Structure formats: structure tokens, C-alpha cells
């Protein structure tokens, strides 16, 4: 099955669920604890992150609309900046997908371990459980994009329930005239806002997800922009409201020390049983995000193979059009990453994976915005307000690198450099093949092919 004959299985609702489901994963359920010490800086950080994400989502939506025949971000970048930058961007993004899967699987196990601490006391058990979750959703992805899409819709509905519960509690308490908790006494400063915004970006990663399997999307020039913009705005508003509920109702010192701030909030008002349900739904949230990201980890090598910059071995698909080989490679790397670092403990391991995934994805965001700017300057895309939006998106990406710190930026550079041997090898093979075709004798006239 080739790209042209591939069945377009993903409609608007599945694409919307892919965006929402991949964005709402593990980050939002842990962030209130990390953000609590920042006080009002956290609210400013959320506002800037949501605005920056909306600008970048608008860029991806505009690129999808301008290139309805494109196969996703690789084509967006290659047509604006050239093939080498497109390869390195997608190489970095591909790494981010299977690293993200490791982080999300670890987070899911972390939540479940709180329900049965004794069963997960041995560090081998959480590692094996995370690997098992990766294998499970790899099997789901290999059965077809439509099956993954249905799982995504179901889990996307379930995962927002704890966030809605927090918002309902806030409305009840504040509507009843009770006084909210006080923010942490930390002054609002640009460095603190930048640090808070860098933390919140992890929770917003994924707004580009509808563009990655573009070849499987029905009416991509309409479906992808709508799903991208609606999904990003909806998730941003839910995040802001739910996080504000925790800030308003839980004292800063309590939120900062809680491993499950939303469960602590719900439990303090509705009892321990409700808190247990929140933990359970948080685990479902992680698994739903894992389902979506596993689907994407196979799409990136498939696109690169079809563009001739990755071994053709990864371009093979099964009878359902799914890149099984690429899926197995990505899941194997995720599993090896978990196994190699399992002694660090769940919290340390999750932080390490999240850092790698964030900086790797930022590369795509920055280059896509720069590519859109170049197309608009060249008159190949509508400008006007979009020119401003793309410029703001590029500035936001650079600013977030600053907020993430030097160490994170160096990790991003290192991830990019690991693609150099692959690119050189593919170019060498292409050159050899070209020389062989040039030197091979022509077939005599009238001979059979």
C-alpha cells in the first residue's frame, strides 16, 4: 500500500481527540505542585504559554491549509527551508515521540502505584509495567488508525473529568462566598514567569499532532486546521481554569508537597473515595495520551522513508496501512530507555524524559514558524495578521528555550546531532545508486524490460 492509495481514516472528531488526548496527558495532573511556589507568576506563565501555543497552532493550521497535499510537518519545512532542515527537525521530533511515550508510561505507572504501593515497591515492577503499556498500545496502533482514533475519543472524554471536578468545586466554594487560599508570597518577575512558562509548556505539547498523520486525514485542508485550533484553545482554557482552582483552594505549601494535587483538592471536599477516582482517571489520562503518541511514533519514520531520507525498510506497511516496523522500532527504543534508567525512581525518571521530549519538540515549533515566515515573505502564503502570528510564535519558541535553561537547550542540540550519521548515510547510498544507474548499460532496442 502506498501513500496515494492509503485510506483516509481520521475525520474531524478523531483528529480533535488526537490533539486533546495527546495534550492532556500526565503534565497537568503534576504541574500544580511544581507551580505552587511561583505564586502569581504561574498564572502569568499559563497565560503566556497558552497565547504562544495558540500562535504556533495557528501557524500549523495555516501550513496545513496552504499545503493540503502535504504529508505533515516534514513537507511543511522542506518546502519552506529545504530538505536537510526538514530531516533534522523531524529526526528530533521522532526522538521526542518515543521519549514522550517513555515519560507517559512511567507517569501512568506512578499514578497506579499510589493505589497499591506494596505491589510496586520493587523498582523492576514499575519498569516492566511501563514497558507492558507501551507494548499494548503499539499493538492497538498496528491494528489501524481508526482503532487508535476510537480509543482516543473514549479516553479523551474520561480524562477531563478530574479537571472538571476541580472547576466545579471552585465554583461552589467561591460562589458560596468562601475565601480562597493565598498565593505563595513570591514577587512577579520576568525570570520567574519564564521559568513557570517553561514548566507549563510540557502540558501543552501536542497541539501539532493532527498534522503528523496528514496522509490519513479526511479533507486535511479543512479538518486539520479546525482540529488544531479548537483543540488547542479548549485545552488551554481547561488547563487555566483547573489550575486556578487548585491555586485558589489549596494552600501553596500543601499543593507544593502533594504528589497528586487534584486528588488532594477533590479529596479535601468530597472524601478519600473521590480522591481515589481522580487518581484512577489521571492514569487513564496518561494511557490515552500514550495511545495517541504511539500512533505518531510510527508516522514520522514512515513519512521520512517515503521522502527518501530514511531507510525504505521503515516505509513498509501492513494490510491495514500501518507502519509496523517503525512502530516496533519506536516502542523498542522507549522500552530500552525505561529499562536503562529504572533505578532512578519514578519521579526522577519522569523529569528526565519530560526534559528530553520538551526540548526536542521545541525544535519543530521554532523551525515551522520560521518556515511559515519565509513562505509569507516569498508570497507563497497569505501574510497580514498571519505574519505577526508566526513572528510571535517564533519569538515565543526562542523565549521558551531560554526559560528551559542552558542544560535543556544543549540536550536539544545533542539530539539534533545524532541525526547527522543517518543523513550522511542516506545521501551516500543515494549517490551510489545514482552512479550505478548512470554507468549501467542501456537495454538494447526491442528487448523486454
**Residue 330, domain member (yes or no):** yes
Comparing 92-101, 205-214, 246-255, the range with the smallest average pLDDT is 246-255
Q: Provide the pLDDT for residue 5.
A: 45
- Domain assignment present for residue 219? The answer is yes
Q: What is the pLDDT of residue 344?
A: 61
Quick check: 285 pLDDT over 80?
A: yes
Q: Which of 326, 400, 274 is nearest to 262 (CA)?
A: 274
Q: What is the pLDDT of residues 377-386, one digit of tens each?
A: 988 888 789 9
**Cα separation values, 293 from 56, 113, 171, 218, 241, Å:** 19, 22, 33, 20, 25
Asked which of 69-78, 87-96, 166-175, 203-212 is least confident by mean pLDDT, the reply is: 166-175
Q: What is the pLDDT of residue 209?
A: 87
In a domain, 306, yes or no: yes
What pLDDT score was predicted for residue 86? 92
The per-residue pLDDT for 136 is 92
Closest by alpha carbon to 136, among 115, 94, 156, 108? 108
Q: Tell me whether residue 268 is in a domain.
A: yes
Per-residue model confidence as pLDDT tens digits over 4-59: 445 566 788 888 888 888 888 767 777 777 777 787 888 888 889 999 999 999 99
Given pLDDT bands bounded at 50, 70 and 90, which one contains residue 449?
A: very low
Average pLDDT over residues 245-260: 74
pLDDT of residue 99: 84
Kindly tell me if the per-residue pLDDT of 436 is higher than 50: yes
Q: Of how many residues is the chain composed?
A: 449
In a domain, 36, yes or no: yes
pLDDT digits (tens, 9 = 90+) for 297-344: 888 898 888 888 888 888 888 888 888 999 999 999 989 888 876 666
User: What confidence tens digit (pLDDT) does each residue in 387-417 have?
Assistant: 999 999 999 988 888 777 777 778 778 878 8
Q: Examine residue 95 and state whether it is found in any structural domain, yes or no.
A: no
Average pLDDT for 249-256: 74
Residue 268 CA neighbour count, 13 Å, CB half: 17
For residue 253, what is the domain's CATH number? Answer: 1.20.1740.10
Q: Which domain holds residue 19?
A: 12-70+104-351
Instruction: List, for residues 61-97, the tens digit of each pLDDT value.
Output: 999 999 988 888 999 999 999 988 999 999 988 988 8
pLDDT reading at 184 higher than 70: no
Domain annotation covers residue 420: no
| Alpha carbons 292 and 208: distance in angstroms, whole number | 12
Helix (H, G, I), strand (E, B) or coil at 241: helix
138, 294 Cβ separation under 8 angstroms: yes
Q: Specify the number of domains making up the chain.
A: 1
Task: For residue 89, tell me if it sits in a domain.
Answer: no
- Average pLDDT of every residue of the chain: 82
Query: What is the SS3 assignment for 265?
Result: helix
Dump pLDDT digits (tens) for 217-241: 888 889 999 999 999 999 999 888 8
Amino acid at each position: 500500500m502506498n501513500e496515494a492509495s492509503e485510506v483516509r481514516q481520521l475525520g474531524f472528531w478523531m483528529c480533535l481527540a488526537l490533539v486533546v488526548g495527546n495534550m492532556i496527558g500526565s503534565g497537568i495532573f503534576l504541574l500544580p505542585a511544581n507551580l505552587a511556589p511561583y505564586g502569581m507568576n504561574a498564572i502569568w506563565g499559563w497565560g503566556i504559554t497558552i497565547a504562544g501555543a495558540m500562535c504556533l497552532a495557528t501557524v500549523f493550521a495555516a501550513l496545513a491549509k496552504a499545503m493540503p497535499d502535504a504529508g505533515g510537518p516534514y513537507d511543511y519545512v522542506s518546502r519552506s527551508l529545504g530538505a536537510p532542515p526538514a530531516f533534522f527537525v523531524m529526526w528530533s521530533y521522532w526522538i521526542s515521540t518515543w521519549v514522550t511515550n517513555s515519560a507517559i508510561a512511567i507517569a501512568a505507572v506512578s499514578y497506579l502505584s499510589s493505589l497499591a504501593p506494596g505491589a510496586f515497591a520493587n523498582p523492576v515492577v514499575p519498569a516492566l509495567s511501563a514497558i507492558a503499556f507501551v507494548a499494548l498500545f503499539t499493538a492497538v496502533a498496528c491494528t489501524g488508525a481508526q482503532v487508535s482514533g476510537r480509543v482516543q475519543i473514549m479516553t479523551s472524554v474520561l480524562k477531563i473529568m478530574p479537571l472538571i471536578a476541580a472547576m466545579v468545586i471552585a465554583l461552589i466554594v467561591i460562589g458560596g462566598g468562601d475565601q480562597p487560599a493565598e498565593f505563595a508570597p513570591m514577587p512577579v518577575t520576568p525570570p520567574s514567569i519564564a521559568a513557570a512558562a517553561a514548566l507549563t509548556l510540557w502540558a501543552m505539547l501536542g497541539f501539532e499532532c493532527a498534522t503528523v498523520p496528514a496522509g490519513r486525514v479526511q479533507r486535511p485542508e479543512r479538518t486539520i486546521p479546525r482540529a488544531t485550533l479548537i483543540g488547542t484553545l479548549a485545552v488551554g482554557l481547561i488547563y487555566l481554569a483547573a489550575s486556578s482552582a487548585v491555586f485558589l483552594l489549596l494552600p501553596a505549601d500543601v499543593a507544593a508537597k502533594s504528589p497528586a494535587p487534584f486528588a488532594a483538592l477533590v479529596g479535601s471536599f468530597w472524601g478519600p473515595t473521590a480522591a481515589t477516582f481522580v487518581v484512577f482517571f489521571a492514569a487513564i489520562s496518561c494511557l490515552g495520551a500514550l495511545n495517541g503518541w504511539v500512533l505518531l511514533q510510527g508516522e514520522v519514520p514512515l513519512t521520512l522513508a517515503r521522502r527518501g531520507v530514511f531507510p525504505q525498510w521503515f516505509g513498509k506497511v501492513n494490510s491495514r496501512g500501518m507502519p509496523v516496523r517503525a512502530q516496533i522500532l519506536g516502542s523498542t527504543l522507549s522500552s530500552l530507555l525505561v529499562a536503562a534508567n529504572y533505578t532512578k525512581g519514578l519521579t526522577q525518571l519522569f523529569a528526565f524524559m519530560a526534559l528530553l521530549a520538551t526540548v526536542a519538540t521545541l525544535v519543530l515549533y521554532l523551525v515551522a514558524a520560521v518556515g511559515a515566515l519565509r513562505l509569507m515573505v516569498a508570497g507563497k502564503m497569505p501574510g497580514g495578521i498571519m505574519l505577526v502570528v508566526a513572528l510571535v510564535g517564533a519569538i515565543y519558541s526562542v523565549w521558551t528555550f531560554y526559560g528551559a535553561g542552558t542544560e535543556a537547550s544543549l540536550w536539544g542540540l545533542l539530539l539534533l546531532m545524532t541525526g547527522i550519521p543517518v543523513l550522511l548515510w542516506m545521501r551516500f547510498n543515494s549517490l551510489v545508486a545514482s552512479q550505478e544507474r548512470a554507468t549501467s548499460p542501456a537495454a538494447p532496442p526491442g528487448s523486454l524490460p
